[in-house]
Structures are given as structure tokens and as C-alpha cells.
């Protein structure tokens, strides 16, 4: 629900930008750096430059850089895990470009872990046929790389960074991107007039009650692209990490600490409530089975009331404690000593294979709009992401997008093309009562998705979820309508934090409805999408599914 005004409206400040990058995870930072020396405005809604899931990533970057490895083998492993729904051409592009990009980053001095001879130390993770995972700072790969890139962004004069900036909506003119509406740190509306926008806003993890994602992962890019008419794909495939540290309440919105896949690669064992190893009975690869298999095996036991634990002692003995400093610190912060006793784990929403559909250069179906990183649906992950392919996807497509953006010069608008109509936020309810009501709505949404659109799904649960989410959408619209009718007499004006909360909740509700609709439409089990009423994969393979906001509204 927005109103539209001309760009000259006093309600909106206008700023010009040549290229706009939204998001400050690995995808956004690298895209901005690769565009240098072209002027770039980089928006992030966090109060610091490093944001998103990249900074929390304990895994590494999968790349065929070893002498006994090849991009072909890497691609084959990716295709096998993708359960028949990967775009094979895109997967082979990812693996081939990925090896080149990884070597480039190593040569550029990014702080990867090397042995005494200067050769990368490669780790083993689930469903990879051989060690090919590059790490930096042991299990602090994401943080180590992001901080190194942040320093480079700060030192690049052509990149203007705007922190505490919440993207609200894309603005179109004649069906093409003409800019983006955002809120600044004070809650004022800013129209960035710009014909080239790269969305790198990350995933959808905080839609779920249990997640490893940071609080800012509220599906903003997915919802904005949907409202702009972009084509979306593979939305039903949400990957749950099998081993999040289960030590904090799930309803506080905080991310669950992640216990990296590399632990099981080094020998960590999953134990049931009786202290018995169970994954060997679930899959020939046991703890190294694909993530969806491991996550569901853990989920069945947790849902039945069992306490599932991860025994880190074999991994610590084999790899050394210095290999996992982040994990050890997280456990000890929770009062656990993993060198002495197994630690409790539960599955948590971790990664979205679906998103805004792009081509090999990151272009979406909306002219002037690119998508990169977890937000993008490039087709490389299929129904299930291969471990450590996410950071690889970010570095590969950041470079391809930057080249494409730099090479293209948008023509001036043709005669007769209307000027952009900049959306203006409606009257948003303010005060503690409205803030509390939106928080309560967000909790209902997170519970609904975790319980009905999570690891195990069925028709009745998905249908009920769809009805509940549609009700939340109407309730949110009702809050705005009530505030508009009451005007200034309704109480306190919304603060900047309140405006951001409203924008995020609107995005969460829309994204949740889209994901639920996609999950309801796929009547089979495949990869990360498991239907108890359709427990086996369809034969022949059901095709990838694409939709737009218009499809949701028509359905």
C-alpha cells in the first residue's frame, strides 16, 4: 500500500546515482568493488558496513583450485545435490568461473588459510567428492573476508556508502527501473534517481522462527522485486541447516549460532536422545549426506521430543581446536564445553535456493535491475544447495554483473515515456501499541512458516498457512487504514525504527505468501522441499516453477 507522487514532491528528497547497489554482504561489497572506478552508491540498512549472512558464514568457498580437482567434478557434485532441478549450463559456468575467481581473490591477497608452502588449505564438506573448500580464519571465513572487503570499500573513493538506509521500493518508468525509494537514518524518504540498480539484499531466514540468519534478512529484495513485476523462481526450496546450536529461546528473533558443516566433514557425529549415532542408518554418506537429508533426520527426532546432540570431539581431535575458533567461542558463551561433552542442536532456516530469476549476467526480467547473491535465482542450486556454493555464487556473479553494468549504457527515455511516479509511504501507525502489534504479527508469521512451511509440509498445513498469511496481510493494511483515518490524533508519529519495522513486516508477509504458494504448487518431495502427502520425487521430474506477484494475486 503506497501512494505515488512526482519526483519533485517535497515529501521526498531526490538524489542522483550512476549505479546503486543495495546490500553489504559479500555480493554487494564485491559488486561495488568490481565496478570501480565507476561511481557507485552502496546502501545498507545496518548501522555498519558489514551486513547480512555473509559476515556470519562459518563455511567457506567451494572452488576447484586443487591439482587433483576440476570444475567438471565440482559441477557434477553440484548437479547431484540439486536433485534434477539445476540449470546445468549455469552450474558449469559457476564451477569454471568459480575456480578463476577464487584464484584471483587469492592472488589479490585476501586472507585465505594457507599451509607453510603458501598453498590453500582445503576442507571437506558434505556431498563434495574431495576437499575443495577454501577457508579464511578457520571457521570465521565470512567475517574474515567481509572485513577485508569492507576495508577495501572504505578505501575506494568511487564508492559512496550510505548506512542505516532501508530500501522501500523500486521505482519504474515505462517498465524500466528509474530508481529506488529508501528511508534514511532519520526515517526521511529519499528517491535515488538511478537507471541501474543491483539488489544484493540477502535471504529470507528471519521469516522463520528458528534461523541462522541475522535479523536484517527480512526478504526485502525479494518483495521489492516482486512488487516491480520481476519473475521469481524456485521459491519453495528453503534449506535448513541441520546443526544450529539449540541453546536460546526461538521467539526472541535472534539467530541461532551455526555449527559449521565442516565439523561433520572432519568427523563430528550426530547422536540421538540415547547417545547413539543415527545418520549411518539414514544415508550411505551418514553425517556427510546432503543437508536436506541430515536436516530432516534431525528434525524428526527433535519434533518427537528427543534431544539431538553433535559430538565435536572427533573433529577437534582430527583437525585441532584452532580450526574451529568461532564454534568453540559460541559453545563456551552458552556455557558448553564441546571438548568434554556433545552439544544440543536443531535445524534452522539457513539458505533460500529460490529468488529473483536472473540470467548469466545477473539481469532480471525488469530492465535496469540486476540481482546477486542469495536473493538471486541463477539456477545453480536446484532443489538443494551444495555446501559452500553460496559464497562462490556471490563472487562469480558479482564480477559478471559488474562487467555487464559497466558495459551497458542505458539510452535516454524515449519521447512519450512517462516520468517516474515515486511511491510515498502511507500513514504508518506510530507509538508503542502499534510497534507491539507489528512485533506480534511478525512472531505469528515466523511460527506459521516454521511449523507449516518448514522441513515437513503437506496440503492442509500449507493451505492453512496461506490463509493465515493472507489474514496478516489484511491486518497490516488495516493498521495503515486506521492510522490514515485517525491522522495526527492517533497518537505518536512513527519513529524511523517504526517505519523500518513496517517496511520489513510488509516484505515478510509478501515473501511468506509467495513461498507458501510455491510450496503448495509442487506436489512432490524433492531436495529441500518435503511433502509428507507426496513423500517421493515425481517421475518424470516436475519442472522448475516460476511466478510473479500477478500470479499470486490471480490465484
Positions marked catalytic:
291
Are 452 and 461 a contacting pair, CB within 8 Å?
yes
In the numeric block, the cell 505518536 is attached to: 492
Residues 6+ apart with CB under 8 A from 464: 452
CA distance 231 to 226: 7
CA distance 264 to 188: 47
CA distance 404 to 402: 5
Residues 6+ apart with CB under 8 A from 521: 236, 545
Length of the chain: 555
Q: Which residues on neighbouring strands pair with residue 344, listed in sequence order?
A: 309
CA distance 207 to 352: 11
Closest CA to 128 of 290, 239, 280, 286: 290
Q: How many CA atoms lie within 13 A of 118 on its CB side?
A: 5
Residues 6+ apart with CB under 8 A from 159: 32, 33, 36, 40, 42, 153
CA distance 512 to 246: 24
Query: Quick one: cell of 86?
Result: 539445476
In the numeric block, the cell 559453545 is attached to: 331
CA distance 278 to 297: 9
* CA-based end-to-end distance of the chain: 19
Residues 6+ apart with CB under 8 A from 107: none
CB atoms within 10 A of CB 60: 31
Radius of gyration of the chain (CA): 23
CA distance 218 to 203: 7
Q: Where in 84-221 does DSSP place strands (E)?
A: 122-123, 133-134, 159-162, 166-173, 176-183, 189-193, 197-199
CA distance 439 to 406: 41
Residues 333/301/296/342 CA torsion (nearest 10 deg): 30
Are 295 and 282 a contacting pair, CB within 8 Å?
no
Q: Where in 194-289 does DSSP place strands (E)?
A: 197-199, 232-233, 238-245, 269-271
Are 524 and 542 a contacting pair, CB within 8 Å?
yes
Angle between helices 459-486 and 496-521 (to 10 degrees): 150
Are 67 and 370 a contacting pair, CB within 8 Å?
no
CA distance 462 to 518: 10
Amino acid at each position: 500500500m503506497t501512494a505515488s507522487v512526482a519526483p519533485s514532491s517535497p515529501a521526498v528528497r531526490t538524489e542522483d546515482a550512476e549505479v546503486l547497489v543495495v546490500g553489504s554482504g559479500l555480493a554487494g561489497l564485491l559488486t561495488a568493488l568490481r565496478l570501480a572506478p565507476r561511481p557507485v552508491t552502496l546502501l545498507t540498512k545496518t548501522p555498519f558496513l558489514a551486513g547480512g549472512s555473509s559476515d556470519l558464514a562459518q563455511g567457506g568457498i567451494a572452488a576447484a583450485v586443487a591439482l587433483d580437482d576440476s570444475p567438471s567434478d565440482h559441477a557434477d557434485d553440484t548437479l547431484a545435490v540439486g536433485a534434477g532441478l539445476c540449470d546445468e549450463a549455469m552450474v558449469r559456468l559457476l564451477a569454471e568461473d568459480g575456480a578463476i575467481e577464487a584464484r584471483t581473490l587469492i592472488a589479490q591477497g585476501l586472507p585465505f588459510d594457507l599451509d607453510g608452502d603458501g598453498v590453500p588449505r582445503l576442507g571437506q564438506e558434505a556431498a563434495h567428492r574431495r576437499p575443495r573448500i577454501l577457508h579464511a580464519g578457520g571457521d570465521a571465513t565470512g567475517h574474515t573476508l567481509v572485513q577485508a572487503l569492507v576495508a577495501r570499500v572504505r578505501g575506494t573513493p568511487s564508492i559512496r556508502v550510505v548506512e542505516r538506509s532501508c530500501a522501500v521500493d523500486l521505482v519504474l518508468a515505462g517498465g524500466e527501473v528509474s530508481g529506488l525509494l529508501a528511508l534514511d537514518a532519520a526515517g526521511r524518504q529519499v528517491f535515488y534517481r538511478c537507471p541501474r540498480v543491483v539488489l544484493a539484499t540477502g535471504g529470507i531466514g528471519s521469516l522463520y522462527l528458528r534461523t541462522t540468519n541475522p535479523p536484517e534478512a527480512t526478504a526485502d529484495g525479494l518483495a521489492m522485486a516482486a512488487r516491480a513485476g520481476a519473475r521469481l523462481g524456485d521459491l519453495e526450496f528453503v534449506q535448513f541447516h541441520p546443526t544450529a546450536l539449540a541453546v536460546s529461546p526461538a521467539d526472541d528473533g535472534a539467530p541461532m549460532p551455526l555449527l559449521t558443516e565442516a565439523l561433520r566433514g572432519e568427523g563430528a557425529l550426530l547422536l540421538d536422545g540415547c547417545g547413539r549415532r543415527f545418520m549411518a542408518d539414514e544415508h550411505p554418506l551418514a553425517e556427510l549426506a546432503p543437508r536436506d537429508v541430515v536436516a530432516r533426520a534431525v528434525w524428526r527426532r527433535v519434533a518427537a521430543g528427543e534431544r539431538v546432540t553433535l559430538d565435536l570431539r572427533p573433529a577437534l581431535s582430527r583437525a585441532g581446536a584452532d580450526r574451529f575458533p568461532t564454534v568453540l567461542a559460541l559453545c563456551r558463551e552458552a556455557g558448553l564445553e564441546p571438548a568434554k561433552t556433545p552439544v544440543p542442536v536443531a535445524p534452522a532456516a539457513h539458505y533460500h535456493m529460490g529468488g529473483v530469476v536472473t540470467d548469466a549476467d545477473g539481469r532480471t526480467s525488469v530492465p535496469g535491475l540486476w540481482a546477486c547473491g542469495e536473493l538471486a535465482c541463477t539456477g545453480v542450486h536446484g532443489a538443494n544447495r551444495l555446501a559452500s556454493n553460496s559464497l562462490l555464487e556471490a563472487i562469480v556473479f558479482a564480477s559478471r554483473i559488474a562487467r555487464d553494468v559497466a558495459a551497458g549504457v542505458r539510452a535516454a527515455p524515449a519521447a512519450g515515456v512517462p516520468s517516474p511516479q515515486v511511491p510515498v509511504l502511507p500513514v504508518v501507525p506510530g507509538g508503542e501499541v502499534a510497534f507491539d502489534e507489528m512485533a506480534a504479527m511478525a512472531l505469528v508469521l515466523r511460527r506459521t512458516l516454521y511449523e507449516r512451511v518448514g522441513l515437513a509440509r503437506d496440503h492442509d498445513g500449507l493451505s492453512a498457512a496461506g490463509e493465515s498469511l493472507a489474514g496478516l496481510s489484511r491486518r497490516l493494511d488495516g493498521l495503515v487504514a486506521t492510522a490514515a483515518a485517525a491522522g495526527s490524533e492517533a497518537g505518536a508519529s512513527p519513529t524511523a525504527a517504526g517505519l523500518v519495522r513496517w517496511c520489513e513486516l510488509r516484505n515478510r508477509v509478501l515473501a511468506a505468501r509467495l513461498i507458501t504458494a510455491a510450496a503448495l504448487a509442487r506436489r512432490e518431495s524433492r531436495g529441500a522441499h518435503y511433502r509428507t502427502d507426496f513423500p517421493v520425487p515425481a517421475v518424470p521430474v516436475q519442472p522448475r516453477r516460476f511466478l510473479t506477484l500477478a500470479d499470486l494475486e490471480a490465484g
